[in-house]
Chain A
């Protein structure tokens, strides 16, 4: 079974500061993928970034980067130079890569608020 833990229910950050959202995971799978999604108040889940368990380099996508520490089973999301539009719920998720079923398992989420 897979489990995602996000220990920060809420985060408050000043605009233009960097922010780190924590995510730890538990799995017995050898090959897995880790995902971060953003969910604004409108409700849509927006894909941000992906990291494969065998990827040697940390993933980056614009202002988003994923700090992947395999031994610690953590996959923290780093947002640089935060903007007011970054205020939203953020979800960490994972799924195995070597099975037919592709169910994403999500954490509880972290609500990020950017203050002007």
Chain B
């Protein structure tokens, strides 16, 4: 069974530029998550989707970050404009949902903002 796919693996941009990350979850997983992991810290949830709908985006900086999940499968996370403090690894995860569902993570996209 294929795991969570993310691209690109690495991205370097200058501040004030825009960037987009893509995620394809495990087949059949209804729930999709985007986490931000700053160097030296544990991941922090940015947004959770259940199928097409947003369940939790309370920690998403909505003035610059946006995310969508078209047709309840793939998802895109966008940053516009990027700031230096956005340098981090962006991890996508998916799960079947439900009370005890495990979240499975992709390899992440490492973003450097110069």
The answer to whether A binds B is yes
A residues whose Cβ falls under 8 Å from a Cβ of B: 4, 33, 35, 37, 42-47, 50, 52, 91, 93, 97-98, 100-104, 106-109
Q: If the complex has contacts A50-B102, A52-B100, are A44 and B108 also in contact, measured as CB distance less than 8 A? A: yes
Residues of B within 8 A of A109 (CB): 41-42
Min C-beta distance of A54 to chain B, whole Å: 10
**Pick the contact of B101 from A37, A45, A102 — CB < 8 Å?**
A102
Most chain B beta-carbon contacts within 10 A, residue among A45, A46, A103, A108: A45
Please state if A103 and B45 are interface contacts (CB–CB under 8 Å).
yes
B19-44 vs A, Cβ < 8 Å mask (1 yes, 0 no):
00000000000010101000011111
Minimum CB–CB distance for B48 against chain A, Å: 6
A44 / chain B contacts, CB cutoff of 8 Å: 105-108
Could you tell me the distance in whole angstroms from the C-beta of B111 to the nearest C-beta in chain A? 12
Q: Is the CB of B93 within 8 A of A45?
A: yes
> Is B67 positioned at the interface, with any CB of A under 8 Å from its CB?
no
A43 touches B110 (CB 8 A): yes
Residues of B in contact with A (beta carbons under 8 Å apart): 31, 33, 35, 40-45, 48, 50, 55-56, 89, 91, 93, 95, 97, 99-108, 110
6 A-B pairs closest in CB distance: A106-B42, A45-B105, A101-B56, A44-B107, A103-B45, A43-B108
Task: Pick 19 A–B contacts, CB within 8 A, sort by A.
Answer: A35-B103, A42-B107, A43-B89, A44-B108, A47-B103, A50-B100, A97-B100, A98-B99, A100-B55, A101-B56, A102-B33, A102-B95, A102-B103, A103-B48, A103-B56, A104-B43, A104-B103, A106-B43, A108-B40
Decide yes or no: A108 and B110 within 8 Å by CB, A35-B102, A47-B103 being known contacts: no
